[in-house]
């Protein structure tokens, strides 16, 4: 069984914070590790060979065993140290090192060796860089396109707050999906995501559509912070007003006792209701469950959507 809470000294900036309460996890949250597989070991070896970080490890994702056994991993570029300290996140905070100029090519090589049809590329926040890392994202996308042109690329970027031109640089590199997570409802931003601005993030997603109308856009949130049902439904409306195509909703799981507390474990029935409502509001693809994460089954979901669209086009013709 995967343990979400840990005691690793990853967050010295939180050392003096009082411990937050930890709710007992319900049965539907518990994850059982599959038997060790050669695929899991091989995935890890390829990532280590190319010196790559993954959000699977750094963020303590509960789905890592399943995904790596299926040879899927979400690459986290630009280092393992974030310039922000969001209350929910397990990625360490501090002053990041210099960018690795070889990283885009290393990511592309790993994608090729893993034989991925779809790859999700995310990053830490790099507020220290003039372009917030937009150029590094673009270089990584281009490297993957050059080496494995049939691989679809999904980027999950920071908000590029006060980084003029960064978004345009990433969009110009032509990822298949542009993802930026709102993470939570606006009333909780000051507590949960203090370095970000809700309406800036919303505007970023809207701007993607203005720059490249055919590009799919995606966003995700966590629930269990204390948000209300009405706030979640309003957030859905906000995303649809920005013409966002895909939505993910998952349960927030407290990484350590120094992070924001879980106020509620949302039931699977509520997740199903959120999924039904989101589809009714016009999202093209919705994934909502306790263990849903932005990149969980992202490739399979996108492949199904594309197949359905091709079938629909065939019927029209």
pLDDT in tens, 39-71: 777 787 888 888 888 766 655 566 666 666 666
pLDDT of amino acid 62: 60
Q: What local confidence, expressed as pLDDT, does residue 6 receive?
A: 42
Domains annotated for the chain, with CATH where assigned, are 35-311 (3.20.20.70)
Q: Cβ distance 271 to 222 under 8 Å?
A: no
pLDDT in tens, 129-175: 999 999 999 999 999 999 999 999 999 999 999 999 999 999 999 99
Cross-strand partners of 218: 179, 246
Q: Extract the tokens encoding 274.
A: 């959120």
CB 219 within 8 A of CB 205: yes
Q: Which of 22, 11, 17, 54 is nearest to 253 (CA)?
A: 22
To which residue do tokens 């830490």 refer?
124
pTM for this model (two decimals): 0.87
Given a contact cutoff of 8 angstroms between Cβ atoms, the answer to whether 169 and 219 are in contact is: no
Predicted confidence (pLDDT) per residue in 275-312, tens digit: 999 999 999 999 999 988 876 666 666 666 666 556 55
> Which pLDDT score, from 0 to 100, does residue 313 have?
55
Q: In this model, does residue 109 exceed pLDDT 80?
A: yes
| Secondary structure in 3-state letters for the chain | CCCCCCCCCCCHHHCCCCCCCCCCCCHHHCCCCCCCCHHHHHHHHHHHHCCCEEHHHHCCCCCHHHHHHCCCCCEEECCCEECCCCCCCCCEECCCCCCCCCHHHHHHHHHHHHCCCEEEEEECCCCCCCCCCHHHHHHHHHHHHHHCCCCEEEEECCCCCCCCCHHHHHHHCCCCEEECCCECCHHHHHHHCCCCCHHHHHHHHHHHHHHCCCCEEEEEEEECCCCCHHHHHHHHHHHHHCCCCEEEEEECCCCCCCCCCCCCCCCHHHHHHHHHHHHHCCCCEEEECCCCCCCCCHHHHHHHHHHHHHHHHHHHC
Task: For residue 218, name the pLDDT band (cuts at 50, 70, 90).
Answer: very high
Provide the mean pLDDT of the chain: 86
Query: How many residues are listed for the chain in this entry?
Result: 317
CA 173 distance to own-chain centroid: 19
Residue 15 has pLDDT above 80, yes or no: no
pLDDT for the residue numbered 5: 41
Q: Has residue 126 got a pLDDT over 60?
A: yes
Query: How sure is the predictor about 22, in pLDDT bands with cuts at 50, 70 and 90?
Result: confident
Instruction: Calculate Rg over the CA atoms of the chain.
Output: 19
Cα distances (Å, whole numbers) of residue 198 to 55, 204, 224, 267: 22, 10, 18, 26
Which residue from 257, 251, 243 is spatially nearest to 271, judged by alpha carbons?
Answer: 251
pLDDT given at position 4: 41
| Whether pLDDT at 190 is above 50 | yes
> Highest mean pLDDT: which of 32-41, 211-220, 248-257?
211-220
Smallest CA-to-CA distance from 288 within 302, 271, 305 is with 271
Beta bridge partners of 246: 218, 285
> 10 Å Cβ neighbour count for 244?
26
């Amino acid at each position: 069984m995967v343990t979400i809470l840990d005691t690793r000294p990853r967050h010295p900036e939180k050392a003096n914070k009082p411990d937050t309460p930890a709710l007992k996890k319900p049965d539907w949250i518990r994850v059982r590790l599959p038997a060790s597989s050669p695929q899991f070991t091989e995935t890890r070896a390829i990532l280590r060979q190319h010196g790559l970080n993954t959000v699977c490890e750094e963020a303590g994702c509960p789905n890592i065993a399943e995904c790596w056994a299926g040879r899927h991993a979400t690459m986290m570029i630009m280092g393992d140290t974030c310039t922000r300290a969001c209350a929910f996140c397990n990625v360490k905070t501090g002053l990041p090192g210099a960018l690795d100029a070889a990283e885009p090519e290393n990511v592309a090589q790993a994608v090729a060796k893993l034989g991925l049809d779809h790859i999700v590329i995310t990053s830490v926040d790099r507020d220290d860089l003039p372009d917030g890392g937009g150029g590094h994202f673009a270089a990584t996308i281009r490297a993957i396109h050059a080496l494995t042109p049939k691989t679809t690329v999904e980027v999950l970027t920071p908000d590029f707050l006060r980084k003029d031109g960064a978004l345009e640089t990433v969009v110009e590199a032509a990822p298949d999906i542009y993802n930026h997570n709102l993470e939570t409802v606006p009333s909780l931003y000051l507590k949960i995501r203090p370095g970000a601005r809700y309406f800036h993030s919303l505007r970023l997603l809207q701007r993607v559509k203005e720059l490249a109308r055919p590009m799919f856009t995606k966003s995700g949130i966590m629930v269990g912070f204390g948000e209300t049902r009405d706030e979640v439904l309003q957030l859905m409306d906000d995303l649809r007003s920005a013409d966002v195509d895909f939505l993910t909703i998952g349960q927030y799981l407290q990484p350590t006792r120094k992070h924001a507390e879980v106020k509620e474990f949302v039931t699977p029935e509520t997740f199903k209701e959120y999924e039904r409502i989101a589809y009714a509001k016009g999202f093209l693809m919705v994934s909502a469950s306790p263990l849903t994460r932005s990149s969980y089954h992202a490739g399979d979901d996108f492949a199904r959507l594309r197949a359905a669209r091709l079938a629909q086009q065939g019927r029209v013709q």
